[in-house]
Amino acid sequence: MFDPKATPCRSLVLFGATGDLARRMLWPSLYALDHDGLLPDAFALIGAAQSKYEPAKFIELVRNAVLSSANAALFDEAGFERFAARVSYVSINASSDSGMQPLRDALAHHEGGTIYYLSTSPHMFAPICRTLGGWGVHPDSRVVSFDVSDPTAPRVTRDRTVRGDVVSTRRYADGVVRVVVDTGRPDLGTAADQVSGRDRRQR
């Protein structure tokens, strides 16, 4: 079972929540974690994307993603209803601060740190992280992405800088690409301190 002391984060925001990677891999994997008791009871899962979805329609998308995956054998209706109770969705425009406001409003209901998972094209990393830096995210929050080694997908190369000095990324041996943001705000620190320093110290 999940040890609630293992992470101070109490929510996960999945940017690109309606995209191919999210449907093929991420929602089925999150469902499996819940099925195996590896998510804390109060851990919230917030999908964020530009598409417009009513709550019930988005839950149906997640349900179909699980049923179409290799984790379909784990599916049971009661278990999925429990999992779905964690899940919410907000429609955002990640290219502007005002377009991200619905996400900020949704996060206001959740205490503690947030894991921001960027299941988006790399060109969206900078505007997303610039907005998060402007918000002054919780000090326990982290921003991560993942290289799935898909030859058809945009690749993030080691230490690639995206849009000047706003954001850069570094791939670690475990395949995780941790996003590095220089917010320009001393109170937030650099991304090395803010969003990926803890992970680097642990590895």
Q: Map out the domains of the chain with their CATH numbers.
A: 9-202 (3.40.50.720)
Q: How much is the pLDDT for 136?
A: 78
Q: Tokens 């929510």 appear where?
A: 11
Could you count the other beta carbons within 10 Å of the beta carbon of residue 171? 18
Q: How much is the pLDDT for 194?
A: 31
Mean pLDDT by 10 residues, the chain (203 residues): 59 95 94 92 94 96 97 96 97 92 92 88 84 81 64 37 36 44 38 31 29
Contacts 24+ apart (CB under 8 A), 198-201: 198/142, 199/142, 199/172, 200/172
Q: How much is the pLDDT for 121?
A: 85
Strand 87-91 with 161-162, pairing: unpaired
Q: How much is the pLDDT for 147?
A: 52
pTM greater than the 0.75 cutoff: no
> Rounded to whole angstroms, what are the CA distances from 177 to 15, 79, 171?
15, 31, 4
Q: How many CA atoms lie within 13 A of 182 on its CB side?
A: 9
